[in-house]
Amino acid sequence: MAGPRSYPRYPGFDTLALHAGQSPDAATGSRAVPIYQTTSYVFPDTEHAASLFNMERAGHVYSRISNPTVAVLEERIAALEGGVGAIATASGQAALHLAIVTLMDAGSHIVASNALYGGSHNLLGYTLKRFGIETTFVSPREPQNFRKALKGNTRLLFGETLGNPGLDVLDIPAVAKIAHEAGVPLLVDSTFTTPYLMKPFELGADLLYHSATKFLGGHGVAIGGVLVDSGRFDWEASGKFATLTAPYEGFHNMDFEEESGTRAFLLRARREGLRDFGACMAPMTAFQILQGVETLHLRMPRHVESARKVVAFLSSHPAVEKVLYPEAPGHPDHELAKKLLPRGCGAVFSFDIKGGRAAGKAFIEALRIFSHLANVGDAKSLVIHPATTTHYRMSDDDLRRSGITPGTVRLSIGLEDPQDLIDDLDRALRASQK
Amino acid sequence: MIRQVDGRAAFAYTAAHELDPGKPSVVFVHGAGLDHSWFGLQSRYFGYHGWNALAVDLPGHGRSAGPPLPSVPDLADWIFGFLEKSEVQKVSIVGHSMGSLIALECAARRPEKVERIALLGTAFPMKVSEAFLDAARRNDTAAFDMSTIWGHAPQVPLGGNPNPGMWMYGDTLARLARLAPGVLYTDLKACNDYAAGLESAARVQCPALFILGRRDVMTPPKSAAALAQAVKGARTALLPPSGHSLMAEAPDATLDALIEFFAAGSGARPGS
């Protein structure tokens, strides 16, 4: 057991982004990840088939549960995040849903940040309520708000690494401590930061997910999500998660924690969640997102660098009321951002335009390079007006609590020449004030 | 299932089956810093194919109460204590790494009780580098890194996991992170200090199988050669793609080797 004498090191982020999860295809030698466009897999014999179904052997049975192409993406993201594994889903929303339904039943309670993507707010605030899962929304700016909202039936704390759209920085170490003292895990939406800018597990989060549609893909051609487990939360010790620690009649009375320890959450999520809810990722989608992941370490620094230039430009523009970017000294989370996000605060941010709703509308319509659409994290620069699009279901009070005004505009800075972006914004801002 | 051994809770995974005195029994013994679920696929297979499968958590690991025991002979005695409490008369033992030394010691000490042994990822002497031991002694996470990186074949971080969607390094690190301080050091020191390997090997009377990973950097196959020669009639299965974590890196090949080995024995044929 001596091992080599030198101290070993892990492969770097850039190497993992290109290689983790895939060795050259055994059948063909293909260097690129093959697209296994198949629904199912031939069993060598009946004995082998039975063993696959009973989880005595590793392998694929049906592509709703697992697929070789999708598995490469899952393993690669798990490697980049430092998790035990991952499950790719049909969308980021599907990943959030899968996490919640794997952890809890009707009668459970979630404490969530109120600075959320509108779709997440809808799921938690309206849809899950119909199924008996209640959510209390709190401002993430003061971590103790999470503690104050805890109830006896709380099973999860949840927030975004960078809140949408005001870029509230979630104090993950502080909120994770509150979660763990309450015997529940912390789940974070890490879409805006990606593992390149932040590794939430190293800060104390237990579970995370991405809308892989955004920066992970980076090309805006595929919808997908990835749910990752750190494997660090002790479900048995908590005693609050019967879905993971009690025999499950729906799978041979399996006690998932006893069966697999660190893999219990993902095992149940795959064997029940994908099996029954079925929000799996298609192999072609996984392939497309993998193309983006392979350059994540090159794209993210450029996204951040260009975002900083645009923020600097907007911050001094006379038509701009304020810019909400945590690296700006005036942002309420400026100090926290320096601590948790030393590589940068991403490339999605908001600003308030002078003149409110009318000015915002004129601004968006005058843009030539920025595309007006409901997405972020594309290689192309994007713009949207949250109050009339992503957050349109929220009441005015909820909007205000989320730090949004009628004049708030959200930008996603892409990979174009940053001077062209600045010129485009300048022209549109001047048009907005006429 | 939980049994009380020396007044402390001792756990074994049994694949959701009650022990059946009419079935042969096989005990799975994990390695340093790990737990019963390291044998998840293999132990589940045997539990569903005609055997009493008992994948134990050694003291201080998984669901078994601590403290960890300081030596391989102590751990072998603990295995027999567990079997006694479980009313299991005869067993086969599958051990990985530190667990392989425990299996060897069990077979040498109580040949009348042990029917077969399979030693996975084994070596003798199982010396641990001073840097590794020192890091573990200080509960430095560098020890977890060494255990993780040396515990897998070099291609693992860049290759695919046979278990879809899982990241082997992350899984190992998460397991090690759950250990109480001092457990990994106690285990490594037990491996390092174990000196009776060749003498015990000479006392083994039952059939023995060595399952080794060709790409094992923790316990390279050549470091098991002397031990394999010392066990009369021992066979060796060399699994080409695997490193030290055979059950995770080559789960099917490991299982197939075990099935073939146990099918040749006097117990129930796996699959029957």
Query: Hey, where are the domains in chain B?
Result: 2-263
CB contact under 8 A, B157 and A74: no
- Residue that finishes a domain, picked among A292, A313, A332: A292
Do A250 and A326 share a domain, yes or no? no
Do A358 and A270 share a domain, yes or no? no
- Residue that finishes a domain, picked among A292, A307, A323: A292
Report the pLDDT value the prediction gives residue B270, as an integer from 0 to 100: 46
Tell me phi and psi for residue A137, to 5 degrees: -95, 135
Candidates A58, A71, A230; nearest CB to B251: A58
State chain B's mean pLDDT as an integer. Answer: 95
Report the pLDDT value the prediction gives residue A6, as an integer from 0 to 100: 60
Reduced DSSP (H G I as helix, E B as strand, rest coil) percent helix, strand, coil of chain B, to 5? 40, 15, 40
A190: domain CATH number?
3.40.640.10
CATH 3.40.50.1820 fits B2-263, yes or no: yes
Report the pLDDT value the prediction gives residue B268, as an integer from 0 to 100: 47
Whether the predicted pLDDT of B267 surpasses 70: no
**DSSP secondary structure string for all residues of A332-364:** TTHHHHHHH-TT---SEEEEEETTHHHHHHHHH
How many residue pairs from chains A and B have C-beta atoms closer than 8 A?
173
Tally the C-alpha atoms within 13 A of residue A270's C-alpha that lie toward its C-beta.
30
Length of chain B measured in residues: 272
CB contact under 8 A, A263 and B166: yes
Give tens-digit pLDDT for B219-242: 999 999 999 999 999 999 999 889
Q: Which tokens is B163 given? A: 């278990």
Do A187 and A90 share a domain, yes or no? yes
Share above pLDDT 70 across residues of chain B, in percent, rounded to a whole number: 97
Do A324 and A260 share a domain, yes or no? no
How high is the ipTM of this complex? Answer: 0.94
Report the pLDDT value the prediction gives residue A166, as an integer from 0 to 100: 79
Residue A54 lies in a domain: yes
pTM of the model: 0.95
CB contact under 8 A, A51 and B37: no
- For CA atoms B98, B104, B106, B108, give the dihedral sign: negative
CB contact under 8 A, B165 and A259: no
CA distance to A44, A238, B80, B86, per residue, from B58 (Å): 36, 22, 12, 15
Q: Which tokens is A27 given? A: 């059948």
Residue A209 lies in a domain: yes
Closest residue, chain A, to B255 (C-alpha)? A57
**Cα–Cα distance for residue pair B42/B51, rounded to 1 Å:** 12
Report the pLDDT value the prediction gives residue B115, as an integer from 0 to 100: 97
- Nearest-CA distance from A281 to chain B in Å? 12
| CB neighbour class for A239 (10 Å; exposed up to 12, middle 13-18, buried from 19) | exposed
Q: Which tokens is A103 given? A: 């952890």
Which residues of chain B have a CB within 8 Å of the CB of A195?
Answer: none
- Which of B41, B51, B101, B167 should one mutate to test binding to chain A, selecting the residue with the greatest count of A CBs within 10 A? B167
Provide CB contacts within 8 A for B232, sequence distance 6+. Answer: B202, B204, B205
Candidates B166, B170, B219; nearest CB to A82: B170
| CB neighbour class for B163 (10 Å; exposed up to 12, middle 13-18, buried from 19) | buried
- Nearest-CA distance from B112 to chain A in Å? 30
Report the pLDDT value the prediction gives residue A396, as an integer from 0 to 100: 65
Which residues of chain B have a CB within 8 Å of the CB of A83?
Answer: 167, 170
A398: domain CATH number?
3.90.1150.10
CA distance to A139, A141, A153, A400, B35, per residue, from A135 (Å): 13, 18, 11, 19, 36
Do A131 and A93 share a domain, yes or no? yes
Number of domains in chain A: 2
Report the pLDDT value the prediction gives residue B182, as an integer from 0 to 100: 96
- Nearest-CA distance from B162 to chain A in Å? 6
Q: Mean pLDDT across the stretch B186-192?
A: 98
Residue span of the structural domain in which A354 resides = 298-432
Which residues of chain B have a CB within 8 Å of the CB of A82?
Answer: 170, 173
Count CB-CB contacts under 10 A for residue A197: 23
Residue A346 lies in a domain: yes
CB contact under 8 A, A231 and B188: no
Do A23 and A118 share a domain, yes or no? yes
CB contact under 8 A, A4 and B150: yes
Whether the predicted pLDDT of B29 surpasses 50: yes
Give tens-digit pLDDT for B62-100: 999 999 999 999 999 999 999 999 999 999 999 999 999
Do A21 and A149 share a domain, yes or no? yes
Q: Which tokens is B46 given? A: 């045997």
Which residues of chain A have a CB within 8 Å of the CB of B217?
Answer: 3-4
Do A260 and A135 share a domain, yes or no? yes
CB contact under 8 A, A58 and B252: yes
Residue A8 lies in a domain: no
- Show the beta-strand stretches assigned E in A279-341: 320-324
Tally the C-alpha atoms within 13 A of residue A319's C-alpha that lie toward its C-beta.
22
Do A278 and A424 share a domain, yes or no? no
Contact B85, B109 (CB under 8 A): no
- Nearest-CA distance from B249 to chain A in Å? 10
Report the pLDDT value the prediction gives residue A406, as an integer from 0 to 100: 80
- Residue that finishes a domain, picked among A232, A265, A292: A292
Count CB-CB contacts under 10 A for residue A83: 33
Contact B159, A22 (CB under 8 A): yes
CB contact under 8 A, A261 and B219: no
Residue A389 lies in a domain: yes
Over the range B26-51, which residues count as b (16 or more CB within 10 Å of their CB) and which as e? bbbbbbbbbbbbbbbbbbbbbbbbbb
CB contact under 8 A, A56 and B44: yes
Do A26 and A168 share a domain, yes or no? yes
Grouped pLDDT means (10 residues each) for chain A, 434 residues: 65 97 89 96 95 94 97 98 98 98 98 93 96 97 97 98 90 98 98 98 98 96 98 96 96 93 97 97 98 98 98 96 92 96 96 88 94 94 83 70 81 98 97 92
CB contact under 8 A, A82 and B126: no
Do A94 and A177 share a domain, yes or no? yes
Residue A2 lies in a domain: no
Do A63 and A116 share a domain, yes or no? yes
Report the pLDDT value the prediction gives residue A9, as an integer from 0 to 100: 87
